[in-house]
Amino acid sequence: MDFSADHFSLFGLPQTFRLDDAGLDKRYREIQAQVHPDRFASAGDTERRLSLQNATRVNEAYQTLKKPLLRAQYLLGLAGHDLDTESNTAMPPEFLMEQMEWREAVAEARLARDLDELEQLHHRVKQRMNSRYEQLANLLDDQRKYAAAADRLRRLMFLEKLLAEIDDAMAALEA
């Protein structure tokens, strides 16, 4: 097994955003069974250390491919397109206004302790994200428009954060 290969090659998968999640999970379990440190408990120090490094590498690769945001960012990196989130923070005004409106709605629902409204917001944001993820898949896999994909990914990062805020607000009300 070539542990210096990219994450996709490590699992024997094509370099695409659209992934067979079940296939990824299956390959992860198979590879982990081969490299897990428990299998090398009675081996020498070097073999145990290598096993730990390999298991860590497999875990990191799996986590990257399992999470759509990280997978997209990784694909962009493989294509030579840095997301550049530190210096590229420009967003269209209409997108930023939409984000402010979403956050105001979350704050109002949280303040009103309106769990139903938070659940509806969660559902609407999730639907928006699913649509944007499909657009991202088209840009990465079908059109190979990496600059546009990077822009879509930055927008999805905002939505992921918003969804986490909604989840936190719901958890606070349910506690």
Q: What is the pLDDT of residues 35-77, one digit of tens each?
A: 988 888 888 999 989 999 999 999 999 999 999 999 999 999 9
Do 163 and 104 share a domain, yes or no? yes
Largest CA distance in the chain: 61
- The span from the CA of 79 to the CA of 73, in Å, is 10
Do 99 and 166 share a domain, yes or no? yes
CB proximity list for 75: less than 8 A, separation 6 or greater: 15, 16, 17, 140
Do 56 and 99 share a domain, yes or no? no
For the chain, 175 residues long, give each residue's pLDDT as a single digit of tens.
677 799 999 999 999 999 999 999 999 999 999 998 888 888 899 998 999 999 999 999 999 999 999 999 999 999 999 876 666 667 889 999 999 999 999 999 999 999 999 999 999 999 999 999 999 999 999 999 999 999 999 999 999 999 999 999 999 999 8
Predicted TM-score (pTM) of the model is 0.88
- The span from the CA of 103 to the CA of 119, in Å, is 14
Q: Choose one of 48, 66, 84: the last residue of a domain.
A: 66
Q: How many helices (H) and strands (E) does the chain have?
A: 7, 0
Domain count, the chain: 2
Give the CATH number of the domain where residue 45 resides: 1.10.287.110
pLDDT of residue 155: 93
Query: Domain of 25?
Result: 7-66
